[in-house]
Each structure stands twice: as C-alpha cells, then as structure tokens.
C-alpha cells in the first residue's frame, strides 16, 4: 500500500531515466543492507545509539571521499581561500547538525523496533518534504498525487496499528498471560473436584 502511494505521489513527474532509476535502486539496496546490519549489531550487542553512530559515521564519510575526488575534483579548488572555506563551513554546519540528529533518531528507532519500521516511516519524511514543497514553495500537486499521499499515509497508519497490537500481545505473553490462564483452569478443576467430594 505504501509503495503504491509513493508511486502515485510521484506520478507525472520528470521523464523516466534508466540510469537514475538504477542508481536509486542500488542506493535503496545498500541502505537496506546497512540498516539490517545495524539492527543485528544493536539487538545482539551492547552498543547504544550514540556509539553506533560514532562507529558508522567515519566509514560512511571515507566511502564518499573517492567519489568526491573522482566526480567533483574540479569544484574542490573553490575552497582554496580561507574566506571561501569559512563561508562553506558556516553554510553546512547547521544542516550537518540536523542530519546528525536525524541519524541518531533513526538508529534509536531501529534499536527500539526494527529496520522494517524505519523503512516504513522513512516514507513519512518524503511525504512531509512534498507537503513543505507545496505549502512553502508553492509547488503544484495533481489530484492523483494527493491521492498517492493519502494512500501512503493510510498504509503507514495501518502498519502502526498492526505493530501496536503485536507489541500488546507480546507484552501480555511476557507478563505470563498464558500461565495465568492455565492456573485459572487448574483452580476450576480443583473446585469441581471438591464439589464432587462434597456431594
């Protein structure tokens, strides 16, 4: 349902580009592998969210260095002067801090729930981005795109409802709900036996 909503919300956008589509699919695959590995580390080890982010961030940054040097080396020399470098750092400091906080929240979400939950609610970020583009920047959305947003939101709410019910059942199981039922049946059997003895 969420995938259908995302498809409808992007219907009628720019022309399809096979190269861009392949890059997006590779990116999504790599992100899924990363979050599954993060879930395994967080659920199986003793790392907290901050430690996990500190372990992931250097490797992520280093993996981008070869791409930057190969594809954007002509633009790196724009920061030769101290003034240009200072303006650049001031420009990226606050967005970088927001990205760090977002990553920290995502890692904590994976630790508390699962990578699937993060993937589902990651679409909520895309929907909010579209809404901001419409409300703040005056972008136009067709009725089909609005329908796609509503379908995606309904899929997220449905997933949230099912997840809450599953967590409630798991909580009851941890509290010994099944054992309580068994003890009640044992008490009923004892009462019936004593009633027969009384007769």
* DSSP helix/strand/coil, 79: helix
Q: Higher-confidence residue: 198 or 166?
A: 166
pLDDT in tens, 65-112: 888 778 877 776 666 677 777 777 888 889 889 888 988 988 888 888
Tokens in use for 191?
């009462």
Predicted structure pTM score: 0.63
Rounded alpha-carbon distances, angstroms, from residue 174 to 171, 183, 185 = 5, 16, 19
Q: Is the pLDDT confidence value at 19 over 80?
A: yes
Give the pLDDT of residue 151: 86
What does the buried/exposed string (b/e) look like for 33-67 if buried means 16 or more CB atoms within 10 Å of the residue's CB? eebeebbebbeeeebebeebbeebeeeeeeeeeee
Give the pLDDT of residue 78: 61
Backbone angle region of 81, left / alpha / beta, with phi > 0 → left and psi within -120 to 50 → alpha: beta
Q: Is the pLDDT confidence value at 195 over 50?
A: no
Alpha carbon distance 142, 8 (integer Å): 10
Cβ(162)–Cβ(116) under 8 Å? no
Give the pLDDT of residue 180: 44
Residues 160-172, mean pLDDT to the nearest whole number: 72
Backbone angle region of 138, left / alpha / beta, with phi > 0 → left and psi within -120 to 50 → alpha: left
In terms of Cα–Cα distance, which of 27, 21, 41, 24 is closest to 115? 41
């Amino acid at each position: 349902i969420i995938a259908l909503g995302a498809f409808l919300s992007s219907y009628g956008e720019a022309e399809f580009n096979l190269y861009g589509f392949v890059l997006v699919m590779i990116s999504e695959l790599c992100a899924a592998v990363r979050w599954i590995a993060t879930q395994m580390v967080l659920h199986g080890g003793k790392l907290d969210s901050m430690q996990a982010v500190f372990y992931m961030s250097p490797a992520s940054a280093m993996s981008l260095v070869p791409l930057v040097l190969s594809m954007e080396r002509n633009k790196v020399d724009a920061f030769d002067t101290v003034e240009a470098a200072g303006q650049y750092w001031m420009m990226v400091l606050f967005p970088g801090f927001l990205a760090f906080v977002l990553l920290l929240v995502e890692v904590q979400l994976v630790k508390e729930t699962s990578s699937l939950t993060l993937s589902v609610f990651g679409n909520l970020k895309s929907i909010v981005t579209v809404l901001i583009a419409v409300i703040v920047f005056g972008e136009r959305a067709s009725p089909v795109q609005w329908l796609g947003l509503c379908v995606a939101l309904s899929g997220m709410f449905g997933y949230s409802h099912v997840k809450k019910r599953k967590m409630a059942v798991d909580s009851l199981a941890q509290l010994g709900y099944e054992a309580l039922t068994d003890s009640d049946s044992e008490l009923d059997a004892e009462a019936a036996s004593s009633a027969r003895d009384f007769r």
